[in-house]
Structure 1
């Protein structure tokens, strides 16, 4: 099998402003380790860092560059909880599951902030995120959202209605919003690069341009790359939407989806603060949501839309710019300097998939758009279960996951049809 991995990150604003980082070598030859991690995004690097801190020998295999996938391309928003909240979890899977996951719903955020402080990672951390309501139904949903999170002990929320919202986001699109003062936003590529450096400072080894082409289960597990092999007592599969073809057993119950982002030219301090006065990250409450924030150099970074199946769109700017201008029509003459897309992994129930294969191959994936915080939680839980403390990992692993209707052939058109239905409901406010 011949694999030609990408040589560099996509041409994003993140890649253009990334902190200096070494180009790690390709794996060559055969090595042994306690744990081999496949994928150097948030899940993989978070797992590797927790495991290295436990004193285990850790090898990370990355098909391209550290942070090449969603971890280095996403909106950079630190949003608590999961893509489906605790009320949905309780209704579908019972009070015990809701309580177990609810107790962890705000932990990924805390892990990120601890890592930034612990390892001195420069990644433009800013405080606060906001959920914006486009209609009365969504505003009522935010009232319920606030009450739900407060039931789980989260008391850093503020509901804003009408003109009060303008102090946070200066757009006529919204009737109100919910501020989570504990949330925030970061430069995600710099966050994962900083944690990768921390892994290496503890003796972990990271190999780039080293896609896994074969996994032979056993004790140890043997992982083959184009020029080498790793023998590992345990393995973490952390490729998420970029793991296609490596372990087919993980693919039937998830689907790669694409999202698109643009970044404007620098707006200047005055205009930037006119748009988002207190520098919070914003996302609306639509099914196919828009999300945006200011960058450290006062650009507007704006994302939205979903491409089911993970295809790149021919012209990202033509898709995102109309959304941006509906939100901020005063930016009609502003140029777009960067446009890119990337894949995240969607599950049918929109909850992440955790599990173990053959007793020593662990996986966490399918965050369904909420990966920044949950992937960091996943790294901690994987380290816990390998250390013999599996209760919290098992709370996720025990949630059943069904395949998408229609199988691999029809899952994309059927999902797109469902998305069209819910997007139409959003437009009608019903």
Structure 2
């Protein structure tokens, strides 16, 4: 059955690019990429720029998954920041990974400028602290990020953040001008157009159903075949079970929900977020929000473990909006949707090699917008013969999810509930 983009604000306001064809032939190429989300698109674009012939297979539409559904925030670093990496993996690993924590956002800005991608980019992101413990953590984060080269950070006290965000809940925050926000689906579509412009091929409605490893690797779809020297599996949370269980066994899809309000008057929009930065709080189960280009409030939060579709997204998110902005009690919700991201036990991305000429990259654990773009650069370096930076990630242990497939969702939810309680009491 043909799959279309979900009914989201992004789909309703996407740039028109037309449909990409369905694979109904034999294609031979240097690199076959499974998945047309950010990981696959970034990888294909870097490789096409380097002169490789690339073919991207997408089961649905370009940007169908998390890449076209996320909050649109360019958040630097990984789901676990450098201090955790230092404590867990040692100073040497932290130094290597830390040197890359701002590179993903830089890549996105370079892509936008070089290929003239119209995706509503706006600079600046705020981490908002709800208590003194979180504010202390942001001070430590600022010091850590400055050690790794980010000089565009500013601490906000209670008065400062009140000027930026029309909310009384925050005691301070951290402004990162190397962050920002975008229309994520339009970024994906722009990158896809760039790949085509460089001679790459993208096929939609062309799910990979069988992989035969060898030299070359053969990937079959329902109606076609790709033969390639290299394979990259980049399906993330939307990669089907059974295609290669070595890739899917050590991670768990999780759902996050987003709503978008009706259009707001300019004065009202600016009273919510004065300088059009994006905002996320510092809770373990965090809320995030921003204004769209047409002055709507986009607000997301909550996690559904195991990627179940919640019964009423608006009922989940509207109370969060009103807790942040009680002045919006009469504002209507025009769009609501859910999307899946891929969670790992360590909360660090999983990069690896599964055969001599086959690789995977996945599991950004909520930090996929920027890290997936970095991933594309690293796999291109790997295939071109420079494996050092890819291997820095690949050497991290990929721990199995506690409880296996049967119990991982409820056990993870229990752990999250514990941390949510700590958030509530500021401990």
TM-score with structure 1 setting the length? 0.98
Give 2:3's aligned residue: 7
- Aligned ranges 1:407-426 → 2 under 5 Å: 407-426=404-423
Q: Where do 5+ consecutive residues of structure 1 fail to align?
A: none
After superposition, the C-alpha distances for 1:306-360 in whole angstroms (9 at most, x for unaligned) are 0000111011000000001000000000000000000000000100000111111
- Kindly indicate whether the alpha-carbon contact (under 8 Å) linking 2:257 and 2:302 is maintained by their aligned counterparts in 1: yes
Deviation of 1:244 after TM superposition, in Å, equals 2.2
Residues 233-312 of structure 1 mapped to structure 2, 5 A cutoff: 233-245=229-241, 246-312=243-309
Cα shift at 1:7: 2.1
What SS class does the counterpart of residue 288 from structure 1 fall into?
A: coil
In the TM superposition, 1:64-213 aligns within 5 A as 64-213=60-209
Match of 2:341 among 316, 319, 344: 344
Selected match of 1:370 from 367, 378, 396? 367
What TM-score results when the alignment is normalised by the length of structure 2? 0.99
Match of 1:215 in 2: 211
CA contact (8 A) 2:150 2:178 kept: no
Aligned partner of 2:34 in structure 1 is 38
1:328 aligns with 2:325: yes
Distance 1:14 1:425 in 2: 34
Cα distance in 1 between the residues matched to 2:189 and 2:86: 36
Structure 2 CA distance, aligned partners of 1:425 and 1:86? 22
For 2:358 and 2:328, locate their aligned partners in 1 and report how far apart those are by CA, in whole Å: 49
Render the CA deviation track for 1:5-34: whole Å, top value 9, x for unaligned.
x52100000000000011111100211111
Contact kept in structure 1, 2:246 and 2:354, CA below 8 Å: no
RMSD: 0.7
Tell me by how many angstroms 1:409 deviates: 0.6
Tell which deviates more after alignment, 65-74 or 25-34: 25-34
Deviation digits for residues 137-176 of structure 1 (CA, Å, limit 9, x no counterpart): 1111111111111121211111111111112111011111
Is 2:125–2:181's contact at 8 Å kept on the other side of the alignment?
A: yes
Segments of 5+ residues of structure 2 without an aligned counterpart are none
What secondary structure, in the 3-state scheme, does the structure 2 residue paired with 1:318 have? helix
Where 1:334 maps in the other structure, the secondary structure is coil
Q: Does the residue aligned with 1:338 lie in a helix, a strand or coil? A: strand
Helix, strand or coil at the partner of 2:61 = coil
Aligned to 2:226: 230
Instruction: Find the aligned partners of 1:309 and 1:163 in 2 and give their Cα distance.
Output: 40
Give 1:296 deviation, angstroms.
0.1
Q: 1-side partners of 2:3 and 2:161: how far apart?
A: 44
1:99 alignment partner, SS class: helix
Q: Distance in 2 between matches of 1:404 and 1:41?
A: 24
- Give the paired residue count: 426
Q: Which runs of 4+ in 1 moved over 2 A?
A: none
Structure 1 Cα separation of the partners of residues 338 and 134 of structure 2: 27
- In 2: Cα distance, 1:50 partner to 1:407 partner: 35
The answer on whether the counterparts of 2:108 and 2:373 sit within 8 Å (CA) in structure 1 is yes
Please list the CA deviations of residues 349-383 of structure 1 after superposition, one character each: whole Å capped at 9, or x if unmatched: 10000011111111110000000000000000000
1:355-366 equivalences in 2 (<5 Å): 355-366=352-363
Report the Cα distance in structure 2 between the residues aligned to 1:395 and 1:182, rounded to whole angstroms. 24
3-state DSSP of counterpart to 1:189: helix
Could you report, residue by residue, the CA deviation over 1:55-81 in whole angstroms, capped at 9, with x for unpaired residues?
A: 111100000000000000000000110
Mapped to 1, the partners of 2:423 and 2:27 lie a distance apart of 53
